[in-house]
Amino acid sequence: MSRFPRGFVENSSSKEEAKAARRPSICFRPINPCDLERLEQIHRDIFPIRYESEFFQNVVNGGDIVSWAAVDRSRPDGHSEELIGFVTAKIVLAKESEISELIRYDSTKGEETLVYILTLGVVETYRKRGIAKLLINEVVKYASSIPVCRGVYLHVIAHNNPAIRLYKRMSFRCVRRLHGFYLINGQHFDSYLFVYFINDGVIVESWLHCRDLAVLVLNYMRSGIKSVASKLTINHEEKGSKWLKSKDNMRCLLPTQTKRNLASERVSSGYDDYV
């Protein structure tokens, strides 16, 4: 298991006092130790979850995490190297990833890998300038330069619609929905899993088609079972009501135990797959 938090990608809620330049000169470079304080501050401002100091040390010291900093070279007063955006990622073995079943393997190329995006963020005053897209492109270019890398993937919280639209425009494929993936302030939130395939790491379409068919059949069976259960419940209710009415001269609604069962059925959990 990774020592670091599961990936969280968010593009909202940071407040910067200084105004961004009208025509920023955006450049990219690796994150280095002098960025530590700024990197920690932006993560606190942007994300609703907290990352351990070990994570930040690994990023700035170039451990097993690769990173890109976005800076605006047009900023005055010595701020031209200050982070205004970033992306962090790490290389994982494809066979040990949660999307291992979607990868088409080539045994002649050795141990195949994926690049997993851990965090991505842009400060508020620099948003809607395409910086997040450029940062993701840096990751894709890096992954594409690794012959054994089969794709780039990430998680995004289900209500982050701007980020979801961005990934779809960039040809990332939404392959899975994970219920309750994030735990934030004691509340669970769903996550979507997006993948961008590279270097012939083509998604196994036949597997997905079979899976989709299985999901459709399962949903159909579930709806049929619910329909039958509903009819049986109604018949049981009518018989029970008549029996109680004739015996005790009182009306009876749906039994409490049946209500509890139906409620449990409505809130059943799991994960849905999307392609």
What's residue 246's pLDDT? 34
214 versus 151: which is more confidently predicted? 151
Find the radius of gyration of the CA atoms of the chain: 25
Cα distances (Å, whole numbers) of residue 145 to 15, 90, 128, 149, 203: 35, 14, 28, 8, 19
Helical packing angle, 161-169 and 131-144, nearest 10°: 50
8 versus 104: which is more confidently predicted? 104
Fill in the amino acid letter for 100: S
Q: What is the pLDDT of residues 163-197, one digit of tens each?
A: 999 999 999 999 999 999 999 999 999 999 999 99
Dihedral (CA of 19, 118, 273, 137) sign: positive
What's residue 1's pLDDT? 45
Report the alpha-carbon angle 196-38-188, nearest 5: 55
With b for 16 or more beta-carbon neighbours within 10 A and e for fewer, the 147-177 pattern comes to: ebbbbbbbbbbbebeebbebbeeeebbbbbb
Cα distances (Å, whole numbers) of residue 163 to 24, 31, 175: 22, 23, 16
Q: What share of the chain is helix, strand, coil (3-state, %, to 5)?
A: 40, 25, 35
Distance of CA 126 to the CA centre of its chain: 23
Q: What is the pLDDT of residues 105-148, one digit of tens each?
A: 777 777 899 999 999 999 999 999 999 999 999 999 999 999 99
> Which neighbouring-strand residues pair with 83?
71
Cα distances (Å, whole numbers) of residue 139 to 30, 77, 154, 214: 12, 30, 12, 34
Average pLDDT, the chain: 76
- Report, as an integer, the average pLDDT of 61-73: 94
Q: What is the pLDDT of residues 210-228, one digit of tens each?
A: 545 554 555 556 665 655 5
Q: How many CA atoms lie within 13 A of 196 on its CB side?
A: 21
Q: How many CA atoms lie within 13 A of 272 on its CB side?
A: 10
Q: What percent of the chain has pLDDT over 70?
A: 64
What's residue 236's pLDDT? 46
Strand, coil or helix: 148: coil
Q: Rounded CA gap, 73 and 62, in Å? A: 23
What's residue 250's pLDDT? 31
Fill in the amino acid letter for 116: Y
pLDDT interval class at 244 (50, 70, 90): very low
